[in-house]
Structure 1
Amino acid sequence: MAASEEFITVGQLLKEVGAISTGGQAKWFLREHPVVIDGAQEDRRGRKVYPGTQVIVPAVGTVTVAAAPHVS
């Protein structure tokens, strides 16, 4: 998945991969499901995730954040 900015938040990532349908569901999802970022469980929806980071999302799988292509 490509981050269009320098980083993406955990809440945005969950929405982007289809784990949640609205940003408001992020807090609930993180309480109920163990999301793992680079080997550590994460429960903050506002945590910044940078390109190259591996995120394990239950029911989705492992996602590696990629940098968005630069348009000249």
Structure 2
Amino acid sequence: MKIISISSEYIKLDQFLKLADCVPTGGMAKAIIQDGAVKVNREPEERRGRKLYPGDIVEVAGEGSFQVSGK
């Protein structure tokens, strides 16, 4: 599992996917989220605006698992 640090209180899911280098663009983030390839805390997530907080775990099909970490 990779640890991804954020400097704010939360980060939106689509922004997180770009920060974690899972996708190069927001459009691609939207596509993989809509395809059901993303889980947040083991639950399928289809909202690209989902707020992620430190401690949340994001699983991306074909990319692995990532944990959100605070400052």
Instruction: Give the TM-score, by structure 1 length.
Output: 0.84
Q: What amino acid is aligned across from residue 40 of structure 2 in structure 1? A: I
Note the 1:27-46 alignment, pairs <5 A: 27-46=30-49
| Runs of 4+ residues over 3 Å off in structure 1 | none
Structure 1 residue 17 and structure 2 residue 20: aligned?
A: yes
Q: What stretches of structure 1 of length at least 5 have no aligned partner?
A: none
Partner in structure 1 of residue 9 of structure 2: 6
Q: Percent identity?
A: 37
- What is the aligned residue count? 68
- In the alignment, the residues of structure 2 paired with residue 61 and residue 47 of structure 1 have an alpha-carbon distance, to the nearest angstrom, of 19
Q: What amino acid is aligned across from residue 67 of structure 2 in structure 1? A: T
Contact 2:12 2:51 in 1 (8 A): yes
CA RMSD, aligned part only?
A: 1.2
Instruction: Give the TM-score, by structure 2 length.
Output: 0.85
